[in-house]
Amino acid sequence: METLQAELEHVLEKGDPEEIGNFLDQQNISDVAELIYTVPEHDASIIMYMSIHRASGVFKILETATQQDIIQKLPPGKTAELLNELPPDDRTALLEDLPSDVVRELIKLLNQEERKITLSLLGYPENSVGRLMTPDYVYVQETDTVQRVLEIIRRVGKNSETIDVIYVINDKGELLDDIRIREFILAAPNKKVSELMDNRVISLNAYADQEAANEAFKMNNRVALPVVSNSNKLLGIVTIDDILWVATEEFSEDMQKIGGTQALNEPYLDIAFFKLIRKRVGWLLALFVSELLTTSAMTYFSDEMQKVAILSIFVPLITSSGGNSGSQASTLIIQAMAVGEVTIADWWRVMRREILSGLVLGVILGSVGFLRIQIWHELIQHGFMHMKDPEIRTAYLTHSTAVGLTIGFSLIGIVLWGTLAGSMLPIFLKRLGADPAASSAPFVATLVDVTGIIIYFSMAYLILTGILL
């Protein structure tokens, strides 16, 4: 890349537009895109000097923020040329992220046909399949012959997004089937399209959520899927490259929500500072207020902590164990729901599994906690460890078994509760129509912190009353 950058700067210094254009057009599209990220001061120049077809290929794989920066720098004539050359779905993706006044000005630069297509796509709800589709596809009638189909492909296939699949419609424009191009290539020229149809077409509704398209592609191993209206009219197609972008964006949003922030929707380094603060402060305030409940719970049990000082030592251990188990379960379930491994209908299976998991994990951690108390008892008793606080020393020496059981059983209860809360909360939110990722790991951890304090001191009451309490 350093060599390519040096060559670019060399030809730019010469200032010969034809030489610059030839140099850029000879490079791989991905390499040119990388050049734009490497030398952002030349981003608009790179697009401007390339042939429009190649420039369009580079532009559509750039990050949205970079695209917007280039559009602002390009002269109106080149902007119009570029926008008209972009595939309709990529052009729509660019325009939907721009302010409405900017969109209006850019739409004026489109020719009549492209303007009509763009306005149609922008008319669909945000994050719907309709925003992703392109009207550039090949369709035929069921009465056509294979010879006729091949002629249609030769005539219009060049301007299509893909010709791997040919779509069959009737006189009303309704989708009947989709047939792979290899079927036409291998069939006799006089064979009818209807003879190749199996009527097992898979389609997407234009108003469906984009995540539905993602699932459909994963389940059916397709490079493109047709998009239909509510009355089954063929409107366009969605291709796998658009779905990959959607999947990447959804993954990024889920990761950000799991981390306890709102979705940024922009690259981290490009987002405005105060906008970044707004995205983060809401969750932090919510979690802070939630943690105040933990403080209230500890205040309620302050007398017990004063009477039995050793109990306060293990509060961080208890709360963190519950929070960690809850965060772990929450992350696993959110990920499983995202890839379709778990649905709302599986809630009972998930609950049973997490009850068993929580018990086993709780017993393991509880055993370690109990063993820790016994080891400290032996170390203090034999003089290998010294305790400055006489109350804590006495508790270790004379009541180690009772304290160990308190810690052990508390961990079992808290880890069990943490796994249940962490696994059920995403399913519950999904049932309410909310995003499961909103039950982020920090939120689950905070929830379990509060209840963990209650479980811990309740267990202490049961075991230590009459002994230390």
Strand pairing class (224-228; 139-141): unpaired
Q: What angle do helix axes 347-381 and 315-338 make, rounded to 10 degrees? A: 150
Which CATH code, of 1.10.1070.11, 1.25.60.10, 3.40.1580.10, 1.10.3720.10, is assigned to 2-123? 1.25.60.10
Q: Which of 127-136, 162-171, 387-396 has the lowest mean pLDDT?
A: 387-396
Tell which wins on pLDDT, 355 or 315.
355
Residues linked to residue 139 through DSSP beta bridges, in sequence order: 167
Distances (CA, A) of 171 to 196, 210, 287: 18, 29, 59
DSSP-assigned letter for residue 158: G
| Cβ neighbours of 103 (radius 10 Å) | 16
Residues 6+ apart with CB under 8 A from 123: 130
Question: Half-sphere exposure (CA, 13 Å, Cβ side) for 235?
Answer: 23
Q: Terminal CA-to-CA distance of the chain, rounded, Å?
A: 71
CA angle 358, 360, 363 (to 5 degrees): 105
Percent of the chain at pLDDT exceeding 90: 8
Give residue 466's pLDDT: 72
- Whether 363 shows a pLDDT value over 90: the answer reads yes
What is the Cα–Cα distance from 321 to 368, expressed in whole angstroms?
12
Give residue 262's pLDDT: 59
Q: In the numeric block, which tokens belong to residue 440?
A: 């982020």
- Domain ranges for the chain, please list them: 2-123, 139-239, 273-464
Backbone phi, psi, residue 203, to 5°:
-135, 165
What is the Cα–Cα distance from 51 to 47, expressed in whole angstroms?
8
Residues linked to residue 226 through DSSP beta bridges, in sequence order: 237
Residues 6+ apart with CB under 8 A from 404: 369, 370, 371, 372, 373, 374
What is the Cα–Cα distance from 243 to 204, expressed in whole angstroms?
13
- Whether 153 shows a pLDDT value over 80: the answer reads yes
Give residue 441's pLDDT: 59
Tell which wins on pLDDT, 208 or 382.
208
| Cβ neighbours of 218 (radius 10 Å) | 13
Q: What is the pLDDT of residues 413-457, one digit of tens each?
A: 999 998 998 888 888 888 887 777 665 656 777 778 778 888 888
Distances (CA, A) of 380 to 169, 304, 350, 468: 84, 24, 44, 19
Tell which wins on pLDDT, 207 or 312.
207
Q: What is the pLDDT of residues 367-391, one digit of tens each?
A: 998 898 888 878 877 777 776 766 6
Tell me the residue type at 377: H
- Three-state DSSP at 128 gives strand
Residues 6+ apart with CB under 8 A from 362: 325, 411, 412, 413, 414, 415, 416
Max CA pair span of the chain: 99
Mean pLDDT on 228-251:
81
Residues 6+ apart with CB under 8 A from 228: 175, 203, 204, 205, 206, 234, 235
Q: Which of 159-168, 221-230, 292-301 has the lowest mean pLDDT?
A: 292-301
Give residue 120's pLDDT: 77
pTM of the model: 0.57
Do residues 201 and 176 lie in contact, with contact meaning Cβ atoms separated by under 8 Å? yes
Tell which wins on pLDDT, 268 or 32.
32
Mean pLDDT, the chain, as a whole number?
Answer: 81
Q: For domain 273-464, give the CATH number.
A: 1.10.357.20
Which CATH code, of 2.170.8.10, 3.40.50.300, 1.25.40.10, 3.10.580.10, is assigned to 139-239? 3.10.580.10
Q: What is the pLDDT of residues 324-352, one digit of tens each?
A: 888 888 878 887 887 678 888 888 999 99
- Whether 281 shows a pLDDT value over 90: the answer reads no
What is the Cα–Cα distance from 259 to 334, expressed in whole angstroms?
12
Give residue 191's pLDDT: 92
Nearest to 254, CA basis, from 330, 317, 308: 330
Mean pLDDT on 115-128:
79
Q: Compute the chain's Rg from CA coordinates.
A: 31
Please give the full DSSP string across 204-265, using - where no structure is assigned.
EETTSBHHHHHHHHHHHT-SEEEEE-TT-BEEEEEEHHHHHHHHHHHHHHHHHHHTTS----
Do residues 41 and 12 lie in contact, with contact meaning Cβ atoms separated by under 8 Å? no
